[in-house]
């Protein structure tokens, strides 16, 4: 194992299985073996440059008002920053290790969050990861004291670093290329890859820094352009609708400005004046009657701007002798200026591309937390989308925890590989909305229960109602039964007398009391379990 430059050798096992396909690795560029990593870096320049430009485009799109609103909604749903609660907690209940090891893992996870200042910067990290489509962190350790673990975690601009997968292949006797070796590492260049192809680069900047993969915490979005092997952002689908919405809004503004005001058309009778004198006469009339007083908000003065002509001014047209004389007509303003269906259409397209429910476009609308018709399919899809984002982002937290546990000797790599799938990261949610949602769901279930109350004991059993209507687990049912039996009100309500038992068993007075009455104290309990 090569960890931060420390090589821990172990007994090599012969490779019995070979494949002609390299193992998949999200976000890594496959490079040729020949030429060394310097040559590999130069070979990657075209791809990396495209990637840097793509990241810049993502960041520009994220600054648009509509996109920013949608992104903030996603971030607030994914990572809730509450006053007295951590944004994320680790759950090790399913980890099959000793309690002391799990306790140490929990302590180290808290140390990692403290180094990251995760309580205050969680949403910032998540936004960077969501917008850029990837996030990189450098794990800084003390090389003289590696057992102290990670001492600092520093963010790396994704435009300056690239994950590389170096694949070595050899031909077998039949001529088929088989993978014999795969190496993964990172290439870093401080100047980035923003230079244009063919531009001069100083010799000292032509080299990239090769970094071992264990020194970098890397979390891609999970969306990959398989043609170029470039991780994509979740904003990639929103580039086109965002640009279309921007152009449509600009067109609407221009149309409103040009067509909103009413303008007049002045037909001025110029008689038999020659062309030049007619134009001068028309100009004199315009200067005499045109009022161009403008209020200057900066100085508070009123100034005359008669020398300027805007597109909103009236029209002045000459009319020769024989016409109807001087005439003034009014050019009506544009109609249906308040209709913005086209803008709303592209807003819906933008929200659909970002997986945001369309109902959230209505800023004034309240939030429905109920079931059935109130929770629509889009909200359910959005919840699943948030869960997926959390899991993808948790890859970074899991990588940092792995490094910390290995450096401090809490776990071995074999132990980590056996338990990594059992480690759960629980993100905090807004308690108010969660509580309101649960209350609305419970209210809906109780309404259904009231409608089925008359059929309990005939068509439906108590157990069926508890499990399928109230959605209670076996543990919850047992707990409720135990608590109810201990309440005096419950006992008084279902305290049976022998006569009542006889009446219930034989309404017409038939039957023997000794045969029908349960034992003294009613050991069988209330009928139907108290329902």
- Give pLDDT tens digits for 476-493: 888 888 888 777 765 555
Beta strand spans in 221-314 (E): 223-225, 230-232, 263-271, 293-295, 302-304
Closest-CA residue to 186 (of 19, 31, 59, 342) = 31
Phi and psi for 167 in degrees, rounded to 5? -115, 130
The tens digit of pLDDT for each residue in 391-448 reads 999 999 999 999 999 999 999 999 999 999 999 999 987 655 666 667 777 888 888 8
The pLDDT of residue 123 is: 93
C-alpha to C-alpha distance for 443 and 480, rounded to whole angstroms: 18
Angle between helices 239-259 and 341-353 (to 10 degrees): 160
Look at residue 313 and tell me whether its pLDDT is greater than 70. no
Query: Token pair of 28, please?
Result: 């890594």
CA 238 to chain centre: 13
Look at residue 86 and tell me whether its pLDDT is greater than 80. yes
Residue with tokens 């390299």: 22
Looking at the chain, how many residues does it have?
A: 531
Identity of the highest mean pLDDT range in 276-280, 360-364, 367-371:
276-280
List Cα–Cα distances, 223 to 48, 146, 152, 389, in angstroms: 17, 35, 29, 11
The pLDDT of residue 503 is: 46
Residue with tokens 């960077």: 128
Do 329 and 267 meet the contact criterion of CB atoms below 8 Å apart? yes
C-alpha to C-alpha distance for 427 and 103, rounded to whole angstroms: 19
The pLDDT of residue 114 is: 94
The pLDDT of residue 478 is: 86
Mean pLDDT of 230-234: 89
The tens digit of pLDDT for each residue in 106-162 reads 999 999 999 999 989 999 999 999 999 999 999 999 888 888 899 999 999 998 888
State what percent of residues in the chain have pLDDT above 70: 66
Closest-CA residue to 424 (of 89, 91, 78, 79) = 91
Beta strand spans in 172-278 (E): 177-188, 209-212, 216-220, 223-225, 230-232, 263-271
Lowest mean pLDDT among 122-126, 132-136, 265-269, 515-519: 515-519
Quote the pTM value: 0.68
Mean pLDDT of 185-197: 68
Query: Token pair of 94, please?
Result: 């399913």
By 3-state DSSP, what share of the chain in percent is helix, strand and coil, each rounded to 5? Answer: 45, 20, 35
CA 137 to chain centre: 20
- CA quadruple 12, 16, 20, 22: dihedral sign: negative
Do 387 and 74 meet the contact criterion of CB atoms below 8 Å apart? no
CB neighbour list of residue 110: distance below 8 Å, 6 or more residues apart:
none
Angle between helices 377-407 and 99-116 (to 10 degrees): 100
């Amino acid at each position: 194992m090569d960890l931060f430059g420390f090589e821990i050798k172990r007994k090599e096992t012969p490779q019995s299985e070979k494949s002609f396909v390299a193992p998949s690795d999200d976000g890594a560029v496959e490079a040729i073996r020949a030429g060394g990593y310097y040559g590999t870096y130069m070979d990657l320049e075209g791809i990396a440059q495209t990637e840097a430009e793509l990241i810049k485009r993502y960041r520009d799109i994220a600054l648009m008002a509509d996109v920013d609103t949608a992104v903030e909604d996603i971030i607030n749903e994914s990572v809730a920053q509450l006053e007295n609660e951590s944004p994320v907690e680790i759950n090790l209940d399913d980890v099959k290790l000793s309690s002391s090891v799990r306790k140490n893992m929990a302590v180290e996870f808290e140390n990692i969050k403290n180094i990251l200042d995760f309580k205050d910067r969680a949403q910032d990290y998540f936004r960077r990861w969501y917008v850029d489509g990837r996030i990189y962190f450098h794990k800084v350790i003390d090389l003289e004291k590696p057992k102290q673990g990670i001492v600092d975690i520093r963010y790396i601009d994704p435009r300056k670093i690239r994950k590389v997968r170096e694949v070595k292949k050899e031909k077998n006797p039949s001529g088929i290329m088989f993978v014999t070796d795969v190496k993964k590492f990172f290439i870093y260049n401080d100047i980035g890859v923003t230079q244009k192809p063919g531009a001069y680069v100083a010799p000292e900047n032509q080299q990239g820094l090769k970094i071992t993969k264990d020194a970098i915490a890397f979390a891609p979005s999970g969306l990959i352009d398989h043609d170029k092997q470039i991780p994509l952002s979740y904003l990639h689908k929103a580039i086109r609708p965002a640009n279309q919405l921007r152009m449509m809004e600009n067109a609407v503004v221009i149309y409103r400005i040009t067509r909103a005001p009413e303008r007049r058309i002045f037909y001025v009778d110029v008689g038999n004046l020659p062309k030049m004198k007619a134009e001068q006469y028309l100009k004199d009339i315009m200067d005499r009657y045109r009022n161009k007083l403008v209020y200057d908000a900066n100085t508070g003065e009123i100034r005359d701007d008669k020398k300027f002509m805007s597109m909103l001014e009236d029209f002045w047209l000459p009319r020769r002798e024989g016409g109807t004389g001087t005439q003034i007509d009014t050019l009506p303003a544009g109609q249906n200026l308040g209709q913005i269906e086209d803008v709303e259409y592209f807003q819906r397209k933008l929200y659909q591309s970002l997986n945001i429910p369309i109902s959230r476009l209505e800023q004034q609308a309240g939030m429905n937390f109920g079931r059935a018709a109130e929770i629509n399919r889009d909200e359910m899809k959005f919840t699943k989308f948030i869960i997926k984002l959390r899991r993808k982002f948790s890859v970074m937290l899991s990588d940092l925890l792995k490094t910390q546990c290995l450096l401090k000797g809490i776990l071995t790599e074999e132990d980590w590989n056996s338990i990594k799938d059992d480690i759960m990261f629980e993100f905090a949610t807004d308690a108010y909305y969660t509580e309101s949602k649960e209350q609305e769901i419970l209210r809906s279930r109780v309404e259904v229960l009231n409608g089925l109350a008359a059929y309990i004991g005939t068509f439906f059993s108590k157990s069926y109602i508890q499990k399928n209507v109230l959605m209670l687990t076996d543990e919850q049912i047992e707990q409720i039964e135990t608590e109810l039996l201990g309440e005096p009100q419950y006992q008084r309500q279902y305290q049976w007398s022998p006569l009542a038992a006889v009446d219930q068993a034989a309404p017409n007075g038939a039957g023997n009391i000794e045969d029908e009455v349960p034992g003294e104290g009613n050991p069988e309990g209330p009928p139907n379990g108290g329902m």
